[in-house]
Amino acid sequence: MAERMKNKVVIVTGGARGIGKGISHVFASEGAKVLIVVRSEDDAKKVIEEIKINGGEASYFLGDVSNQKDMDNMAKACIERYGKIDILCHNAGIFPEVRLENMTLKDWELVNNVNLKGTFLAVKACMPNMIENQYGKIVITSSITGNKTGNPGLAHYAATKGGVNGFIKTAAIELAKHNITVNGVEPGNIMTEGMGSQLGEEYIKAQEASIPMGKLGEPKDIAYAALFLASDEAKYITGQTIAIDGGQTLPESMFAVH
């Protein structure tokens, strides 16, 4: 086990599947104590077992990021178990595909509640302890969608991820005086459980064809960028987002890809 995160405590929302699972594993393998936050415990138990087998330390907290009480209790549980919150990797998010003509207010509100309101609530809950300690690293999983690209069926999602980037910039300014950095990772198309179930095979094939590197990314590709942004090597970086997308947002046309 490497030790770049020795003595650090990290909360990873949505940390039991997909990108979040990658983040949980990478931080644990670097010595961090990891609190995994999800709504259902089966996946979390599996990830924690894997982390423990590899010599790491992790536990889970059941909560919904769109629920204020759950987020406040999440922060409380982390402080009770591990004494502090050094790092928040706020990663939980949903991307159910529905085109505008069929999109209902309920669809819109669900995605906004989880992705955007959830970001606000998770950060608000962790801030007091970070301010008290005059130390904190917040890394939010944003997306290329809504910031560098658009995608049919994801107008609600794109709006939330654009909002997340706006939030990152202002939160970074407000928290800078407390030695807290706020940054984001913008995944391109990463092969995860959610990608398979929410967007499907046809979507995945179309995405692959538009990626200069010719394939989707892996959760750990995002996790290593989050690890860097949460490390002390990145102490002077704040308010930034990094696209990790195999070059997907570079080509001016499909001709440029092949």
Residues of this chain that bind ligand NAP (CB under 6 A): 13-14, 16-20, 37-40, 43, 64-66, 91-95, 114, 141, 143, 187, 189-190, 192-195
Q: Give the pair of three-digit tokens for residue 57.
A: 């330390």
As a whole number of angstroms, the distance between CA 241 and CA 220 comes to 17
Q: Which is nearer to ligand NAP, 180 or 223 (CB)?
A: 223
Q: Which is nearer to ligand NAP, 218 or 233 (CB)?
A: 218
As beta bridge partners, residue 190 has: 217
User: In the complex, what is the shortest distance from the CB of residue 24 to ligand NAP, in angstroms, rounded to a whole number?
Assistant: 9
CA distances from 111 to 95, 100, 258 (A): 7, 13, 35
Catalytic residue among 60, 135, 157, 203: 157
List the beta strands (DSSP E) in 67-118: 87-90
Rounded to 5°, the CA angle 209-214-216 comes to 90
User: In the complex, what is the shortest distance from the CB of residue 54 to ligand NAP, in angstroms, rounded to a whole number?
Assistant: 19
- Alpha-carbon torsion (139, 140, 142, 147), positive or negative: negative
As a whole number of angstroms, the distance between CA 92 and CA 89 comes to 9
Q: Which is nearer to ligand NAP, 41 or 133 (CB)?
A: 41
Q: Give catalytic status of residue 82 as yes or no.
A: no
User: In the complex, what is the shortest distance from the CB of residue 138 to ligand NAP, in angstroms, rounded to a whole number?
Assistant: 14
Q: Which is nearer to ligand NAP, 19 or 75 (CB)?
A: 19
User: In the complex, what is the shortest distance from the CB of residue 36 to ligand NAP, in angstroms, rounded to a whole number?
Assistant: 8
Active-site amino acid positions: 157
